[in-house]
Structure 1
Amino acid sequence: MRNLIQRVLVLTGLVDRLQPVALLALRLYVSSVFFRAGIIKISDWGATLALFHDEYKVPLLPPDVAACVGAFGELAFPVLITLGLMGRFGAAGLFVVNAMAVISYPQLWGFDCPAGIHMHFVWGAILLLLAIFGPGRLSLDELILKRLGLRPAPAA
């Protein structure tokens, strides 16, 4: 039995080595989704403003301000996440942008095909995971911490 447990531990140790690559893949995927949405917003600013005035119901913000904040969030936070620079901050910020998208577009909940709302939940889960665990070892955060000698000790 002990031998079997040791073999399983070796195997899980090998799988653990994939964690930085998996976190990088998640960062690149979720960043690309939101960055492309931001590019679309700024490519036709008139249509974006019309959507924020007519379709999206962002709470507390005037439509023009909400459009600017939304476009900024979809363009700036993905860059931080992709680079792994202030990765947790970028992931948390994009999580808020994603939540605002779900809250401010109530039609998303009523479509016959629930894939739209489900994808927002998937993106939200990925962003929450990145905010909690950080961008991983393949990030500028890690490089900077190592250079400064501030790399936190591994959790027990």
Structure 2
Amino acid sequence: MNQARNSTIGMAKLGQGARLILEWLAWAAYAIAPLVLRIALAVPFFRSGLTKWDGFLSLSPAAVFLFEEEFKLHIFGGVYDFPAPDTMALFDSVAEIVLPILLVVGLATRFSALGLLIMTGVIQLVVPDGWANFHLPWAAMAIALIAIGPGRLSLDHLIGVVRRTWTPGGSA
């Protein structure tokens, strides 16, 4: 009888230990997952953005050429040129640098993720065959960041803490 009772107590302690480990893992993942998502989404866009510049504030002629000649929109079975390709090239090139930087530091995270989600949608219209390998994971990461936010390891979180601390009626 005593042995069965000791066995039951041992199993309960083992269960408590496992539960504590799982709670710690969840806490750690909750802190780290948004940061990893932000970096994973930022890297391909930032790397693409770097190829579109010849120097500081000097857009590469190749970037404009891509939007004038190479990139075409595939919509409803037709193939169409980009409207205002020089403006689109500039907008895209700036967004591919600025939005990933904002994501990595966690500033305006949801808006940055939304911008990259919209860009992913446009890229899908340009390269329809890339959906399964590239566009779907990018879209999933962007939607996840929009849903869960920047996480604790972000400037957005830090700004929120400071704002709550320094506003009248905030907890100090």
TM-score normalised by L of structure 2: 0.72
- Aligned-pair RMSD on alpha carbons? 2.5
TM-score (norm 1): 0.79
Match of 2:32 among 8, 21, 35: 21
Alpha-carbon distance between aligned partners in 1 of 2:93 and 2:16, rounded to the nearest angstrom? 51
Distance 2:111 2:22 in 1: 30
Counterpart selection for 1:123 from 133, 138, 141: 138
Q: 1:73 aligns with which of 74, 95, 107?
A: 95
What is the alpha-carbon distance in structure 2 between the residues aligned to residue 102 and residue 55 of structure 1?
14
| Counterpart residue number, 2:169 | none
Distance 1:105 1:65, change over 3 A: farther
- Alignment correspondent of 2:46: 35
Aligned residue-pair number: 143
2:153 equivalent to 1:138: yes
Q: Distance in 2 between matches of 1:117 and 1:70?
A: 22
Off by >6 Å, runs of 4+ in structure 1: none
Change in Cα spacing, 1:69 to 1:117, as seen in structure 2 (3 Å) is farther
- After TM superposition, the structure 1 stretch with the greater mean CA deviation from structure 2, 124-133 or 23-32, is 23-32
> Which one-letter code corresponds to 2:36 in the other structure?
A
Quote the Cα distance in structure 1 between the aligned partners of 2:19 and 2:113: 31
Q: CA deviation at 1:86?
A: 0.9
Quote the Cα distance in structure 2 between the aligned partners of 1:34 and 1:20: 24
Q: Which shifted more, 97-106 or 126-135?
A: 97-106
- Structure 2 residue ranges without an equivalent (≥5): 1-11, 74-79, 166-172
Percent identity over the alignment is: 31
- Unmatched tracts of structure 1, length 5 or more: 151-156
| Contact 1:55–1:105 (CA under 8 A) maintained in structure 2 | no
Partner amino acid, structure 1, of 2:68 = H
Contact kept, 8 Å, 1:102 with 1:117, in 2: the verdict is: no
